Structure 1
């Protein structure tokens, strides 16, 4: 079995683990799902499989519970206390305290239960007697060719904003499980505080639970990287199709789905036109959608041309079918018509999505891209800041100006007065309720230092940041992340992975992977990564890589732009790159985490 088939087959192990939990009650049962769990679960098992495990009916978790009757009830939720509390309230509303049922209610928590959950049940006298708690961590979910995701949406906020390591063992357990499938990995590069902790936990698992007997690993090397070491790869506006889909639409577990929204309003409260997203349903799986396979890593301006050519091919096929004899028509219907119909549906969906991307990004796209290029190049600071203020005053979304502000904090030396001006306008435009956002930015490392503003300003009592971007440029220059000549990049036939950001920037993970795949001497790698973060390199006589397959784990989320850049390196070097993370994110997802209240 080749590597890709093994990645796809990993879900069978997840099904086996889930099956054991369902068999704790052999009677027919109801299943109630947290809505955010539904799409990932669909990637693991279908309704038919659930029926075979005794699930009679499936419900979505809502305010009012269904009538349970005498059936056993299983809930599947993420490890989110607010959702758990809602589930407990539902159960309490249906339980007869005088005569409580046994082995009726089961709550499956992904990836693990916490002491708060147990404490809540004990306070209500439900723990183990009425409600049984189960931890369940599915194995990495196969999203697309070479892409695995744990589909856990709380990792970044938990680790990098709240500094809560509750979910850190999820990553080490995941690596240990993959070890059992592919064999022991003998070359490991780990960069970052959490990455090193995961590696330590992984060692403990191998020691306590045992290691694989398969010594010849199918994976030549492993790279583990913390998300906070390369924020620009999430903050920059991407240029490739798959990444722009994630920017504009809601993509979960590789599903891009948008339903029709009825709205009579044509402008928002700042008099911006309201752009309704056209409804689409796209499975971002190259093996299912051949059109997506062709377009996913293309620069967006090339995508419309490719879709146009596909449309012309369908028209030619239709014209040719008119001149067919009866036997030819029969053969065509039997062998090609189904594929043609599916292809037509895929092309139509992608044309709609491409049109929506153009409409949503709108007038500001070119100006935003030019500003981002200037920011990364550390030029035109005054015009960059003016554009930031313009966005703050004209945009109806907090996300867009905050995202650009974060990028400027990392790369350009903003004065106290500039920071004060922006933050005052931001709070005025979107509400002083967002005062805590600065602390979230400090916790995440986007702001590395702070001091009080001088007296006389309107925000004199607010602690404001001072960020020194020298480290960013030092690392970027050492690793050649900023290409010297942007205008010479051919977006139709790119020769540099920076094309995913319009020639502006090469992701850190791509440069590290390139060094490893090109067998750069280890001492040179150490020198180039010096000062980035705490680095661990393990080489058990396996470097240069003995197997041309590289596994990359990014802790805190990875973007489609980074995946596209890695796919470029993959095609260039002829290696196999497997990407693993807790979820596929965009810069907008990170901004939403920063905008949430502390201890959410």
Structure 2
């Protein structure tokens, strides 16, 4: 029932978009930023757009399409795309054009965009709109705002202009599922969002639902639990995102026609073409394997393939009337299942080809890091993959994990930066500053202004002292005493998502609320991690065994899988929401992006 309500959120988004499109009468054309196409497909289809008088749909390119209809541009609120559009409009607009060019900015129209419009002499001639669509339903219990670059904006650039988007989305959500009684926020951004949400509840209309479907909302900053995004995942959906990348619940990869070697003449690992929608309601095979430990997935796919083969052989022995019945009732379902299995087999093979050679040593090193063992061996492995993998994301990601867990000496960090910049180029000199801003390194560093000395930048201490990480993680019971005793095939511990090494923080907080842990105990365990705010303590313990988990800065499929297991173990319902579903590679890209 609750999932039906969440999937109906797209109807509200359609009403918002329809109001904007119909502000201009008659037929019109739509120009979409490429990155917005997949999320828009989840909100509304082409048929719906045609019904709202959209005649032609174009992709945003370097030239304006030749059309006489009014034009609506649909883009995310980023300066580069916005300026590009204004330049295209300025080249095409005439003195007689009135109410012809419209720009819809998602999720929010910022004041600076109006200033740029005035600077370019287009104020009053181009109409701007703000559209914050509702969280998009991706899968059972998973909704996402699908707004890219929010992690980079908030945690790297430290630009808070889009922070109110989170509070407004929670306020909108309360009209569908009711207003939860208890709100808990952990982290600088999350506590700010909670304060903004208080103002919305106080000054704007509230839901008329007397009984909320959910008992509590937990808000968590991504930076409070970087470990869950940096560790190598072990479940199928998370590995799919690691290797292929998933956008708006869709994993799509076409035949790669690029060179077989990279810029350093290393062979490029081939990826099989796939097209997978990560939605249990659409793909029955995905429903069975999405949160499984990966070694189990390949075995399940083998069993399904054998059953299809035996079904095909039995159909040959059918009589004519049996064949007719089989074709009319089962053949189409079998054909769909065959397609699903073929896609997942191709994806599984690609995951093995891309990660198989380093999966076990990587997981072993991460286990040592989480348990604070074998420090010199861990650093030796970091230096080894820096040279052998030729993958800047893999090396930087492991270094960041070391900075959060085991303390690195000044000499070790200096050596790493020397080798990293030699390996991948001095262009990445800015990266050290981004690591400080994002909280991976402390800002107690010596720095020089000359480019040749950039490798000598030394970080004095990680953001969290190693003893703080281990003390806090053990206090919250995030580190199993013996990972080898964790049952990965039929898990009863949420740490299985990382091979038994670590339980995501968001899962542990939800577990404490669902098990009615005294609020003072919860506060004592969480306060050392960052700013903590709790609203309506009288509403605790919660009556409704349903919780909304809201991760600010992106949530991972590993955390979603851990929450799914917690649901099963506690008989509860957990809704996971974020601005985007991400992997550790997405965090590394945000840190290394200078655009």
Contact 1:450–1:464 (8 Å) recurs in 2: yes
User: For 1:389-408, what aligned pairs fall within 5 Å after superposition?
Assistant: 389-408=383-402
Q: Could you tell me how far apart the structure 2 residues matched to 1:228 and 1:507 are?
A: 13
Structure 2: any 5+ residue segments left out of the alignment? Answer: none
How many Å apart are 1:362 and its aligned residue?
3.6
CA shift digits 1:372-400 (9 cap, x unpaired) = 11111111111111111111122322111
The aligned counterpart of 2:90 is 92
1:261 to 245, 256, 262: 256
Q: Write out per-residue CA displacement over residues 291-349 of structure 1, whole angstroms, 9 at most, x where no aligned residue.
A: 00000000000000000111111111112212222222111111111110000000000
Listed one character per residue, the Cα deviations across residues 222-278 of structure 1 (whole Å, up to 9, x for unaligned) are: 11111000001000000000000000012100000001112452x445554321211
1:298 matched to 2:295? The reply is no
Which residue in 2 is equivalent to 1:529? Answer: 526
Match of 1:340 in 2: 334
* CA distance 1:449–1:342, shift in 2 (3 Å): same
Which range moved further: 504-513 or 375-384? 375-384
Q: Comparing 215-224 with 299-308, which one deviates more in the overlay? A: 215-224
Name 1:145's counterpart in structure 2. 140
**Contact 2:227/2:401 (<8 A) preserved:** yes
* Contact persistence 1:246–1:585 (CA under 8 A): yes
Query: What is residue 474 of structure 2 aligned with on the other side?
Result: 477
Determine the structure 1 residue equivalent to 2:130.
Answer: 135
- Structure 1 residue 490: deviation in Å? 1.9
- SS for the counterpart of 2:58 is strand
TM-score under structure 1 length normalisation: 0.96
Q: Retained in 2: the 8 A contact 1:180–1:211? A: yes
Equivalence for 2:112: 116
In 2, the alpha carbon distance for the partners of 1:125 and 1:394 equals 53
> Larger deviation: 118-127 or 253-262?
118-127
Query: 1:543 offset after TM fit, Å?
Result: 2.2
Q: How many angstroms does 1:453 deviate by? A: 8.0
| 1:549-564 mapped onto 2 (5 Å cutoff) | 549-564=546-561
Per the alignment, residue 219 of structure 2 pairs with 224
The residue correspondences of 1:499-578 to structure 2 (distance < 5 A) are 499-539=496-536, 541-578=538-575
* Equivalent residue, structure 2, for 1:424: 418
How far does the alpha carbon of each residue in 1:493-521 deviate from its partner, in whole angstroms, 9 at most, with x for none?
11210000001111100110100011111
Determine if contact 2:177/2:212 at 8 Å carries over to the other structure: yes
Counterpart contact for 1:250–1:258, Cα < 8 Å: no
Distance 1:476 1:461 in 2: 32
Counterpart contact for 1:153–1:583, Cα < 8 Å: yes
**Residues in 1 aligned to 2:241 and 2:72: alpha-carbon distance in whole angstroms:** 32
Q: 2:377 aligns with which of 380, 383, 386?
A: 383
1:530 partner SS: helix
Structure 1 position 110, deviation (Å) = 0.3
Aligned to 1:19: 18
Aligned-residue CA RMSD (Å): 1.5
**For the Cα contact (< 8 Å) 2:429–2:454, is it kept in 1?**
no
Shift in Å at residue 464 of structure 1?
Answer: 2.8
In structure 1, the residue corresponding to 2:508 is in which secondary structure?
A: helix
- Structure 1 distance, partners of 2:43, 2:85, is 23
Checking the alignment, whether the CA contact within 8 Å between 2:414 and 2:456 is kept in structure 1 is: no
Given the alignment, which residue of 181, 184, 204 partners 2:199? 204
1:437 to 422, 431, 434: 431
Q: State the TM-score, normalized to the length of structure 2.
A: 0.97
Q: What SS does structure 1 have at the residue aligned with 2:15?
A: helix
Matched, 1:34 2:33: yes
Give CA deviations for 1:513-571 in whole Å, capped at 9, x if unaligned: 10001111111111111311111122364322211111110000000000000101001
Cα contact 2:445–2:457 (8 A) shared by 1: no
Indicate yes or no: 2:65 matched with 1:61.
Answer: no
- Matched with 2:151 is 156
Q: Tell me the distance in 2 between the aligned counterparts of 1:511 and 1:217.
A: 23
Tell me, in whole angstroms, the C-alpha distance in 2 between the residues paired with 1:271 and 1:54: 51
Partner-residue secondary structure (3-state), 1:531: helix
What residue number does 1:582 align with?
Answer: 579
Q: Give structure 1 stretches of 5+ with no counterpart.
A: none
Determine the structure 2 residue equivalent to 1:103: 99
Residue of structure 2 equivalent to 1:323 = 317
Q: Judge which range, 38-47 or 489-498, deviates more.
A: 489-498
1:270·1:394 contact (CA, 8 Å) conserved in 2? no
Partners of 1:377 and 1:407 in 2: CA distance:
13
Distance 1:453 1:160 in 2: 22
Query: d(CA) in 1 for partners of 2:375 and 2:570?
Result: 38
Aligned partner of 1:8 in structure 2 is 7
Q: Distance in 1 between matches of 2:439 and 2:150?
A: 16
Does the 8 Å CA contact 1:552/1:580 hold for their aligned counterparts?
Answer: yes
- What SS does the aligned partner of 2:312 have? helix
Contact 2:414–2:457 (CA under 8 A) maintained in structure 1: no
Aligned twin of 1:285: 279
Distance across 1 between alignment mates of 2:388 and 2:197 = 48
Shift of residue 470 of structure 1?
2.0
The secondary structure found in structure 2 opposite 1:252 is: coil
- Which residue is 2:122 aligned to? 126
